[in-house]
Amino acid sequence: MRMLLKASIPTEAGNAGIRDGSMMENMGSILEDAKPEAVYFFIENGKRTCLMIIDMDEQTQLPSAVEPWFLSMGADITMVPVMNGEDFEKAGPSIGATLEKYS
């Protein structure tokens, strides 16, 4: 299942990681392990934030996706399932059936 993972890094932890070089090293390792479909970096609410789309075959992969962020940067994590255009097209019949049943 395609998942959107958003990691917001507390400013103090991010500053310390940039100063000692650990942030870039940890980020590289996390991205190498996660093999994201897409990844973006931005500032949100004054925090360095990473947004990435990853594929998870099963829920047991959740710890390996989030723990590196918690342990290395003290990040706040949000994860939600997402669809791309192709997924949305495939979901069309079930969406139609649901609309018919509940409308």
- Sign of the dihedral defined by the CA atoms of residues 63, 42, 45, 28, in that order: positive
d(CA 4, CA 1) in angstroms, rounded, equals 10
For residues 13, 14, 20, 21, the Cα torsion angle rounded to the nearest 10 degrees is 140
Structural domain boundaries, residue 95: 2-102
Q: pLDDT band at residue 76, thresholds of 50, 70 and 90?
A: very high
d(CA 47, CA 18) in angstroms, rounded, equals 13
Looking at per-residue pLDDT, the higher value among 95 and 83 belongs to 83
In the chain, the number of structural domains is 1
Check pLDDT > 90 for residue 12: yes
Q: pLDDT band at residue 96, thresholds of 50, 70 and 90?
A: confident
- pLDDT digits 0-9 by tens, 21-69: 999 999 999 999 999 999 999 999 999 999 999 999 999 999 999 999 9
What pLDDT score does 18 carry?
96
What pLDDT score does 95 carry?
84
Residue 73: give its domain's CATH number.
Answer: 3.30.70.120
